[in-house]
Amino acid sequence: LFDNVNYVKPGFINFILKKKVWYEVFTEIVKDKNFGFSNLGLNRKVNLEFISANPTGPLHVGHLRGAVLGDVLSRLMIKSGFKVTKEYYVNDLGSQIENLYETVKLHIDNKINNVKKELSENMYFGDYLKDIAYEIIEEEHQLNDHQAIKKTIIIKILSLIKRDLKDLGISFDNYISEKELHKEGMLNDILEEFKKKKLVY
């Protein structure tokens, strides 16, 4: 069983297994596709929400680290018998989205009017937003329709995010819009339900 056993100060014993032992374990792992797993989940439903970076630009390394962690966790849970739904919560509401719109609109105005107005400090400075602005001009969108332009910007940035995730082999079952949740009144309904059950105060 052992090739060597030795004592190391201050009180450790090192066991070196024979290669034959490792080969037997590896062979068992290859044969048994569920090696090391049991049905802990019992088909219980789990909603796993991860990354959910604001749709204001492409993902960076910090986001991708969370992406890999979340995806690995979902795979482990599925393998352990849970029924997992992977969700990306799209924060498409609030001041950051307004600032995003103002940034793209400035790039659109600069291009159309052949001027060079400077970005203000609350705007986004990535060149990818110039590209999006020029695409919007080429696609002949209604350039004075605030909501339509905003929606188009978010769709285009989400496509950048999804492209990066695809390259990593990561996919989501649901992309949930914060704006739509508010529009449908779902958050208020949930809060009222929580209040009745005395889960919030």
Strand bridging mode 174-177 / 83-90: parallel
Mean of pLDDT values over 117-121: 95
Q: Which value, to the nearest 10 degrees, does the dihedral of the CA atoms of residues 166, 49, 92, 151 take?
A: 40
pLDDT band of 3, cuts 50, 70, 90:
confident
pLDDT of 186 above 80: yes
Q: Which residues of 27-51 are buried (b: 16+ CB within 10 A; e: fewer)?
A: eeeeeeeeeeeeeebeeeeeebebb
Over its C-alpha atoms, the chain yields an Rg (Å, rounded) of 26
pLDDT band of 50, cuts 50, 70, 90:
very high
Q: What is the predicted pLDDT for the residue at 83?
A: 98
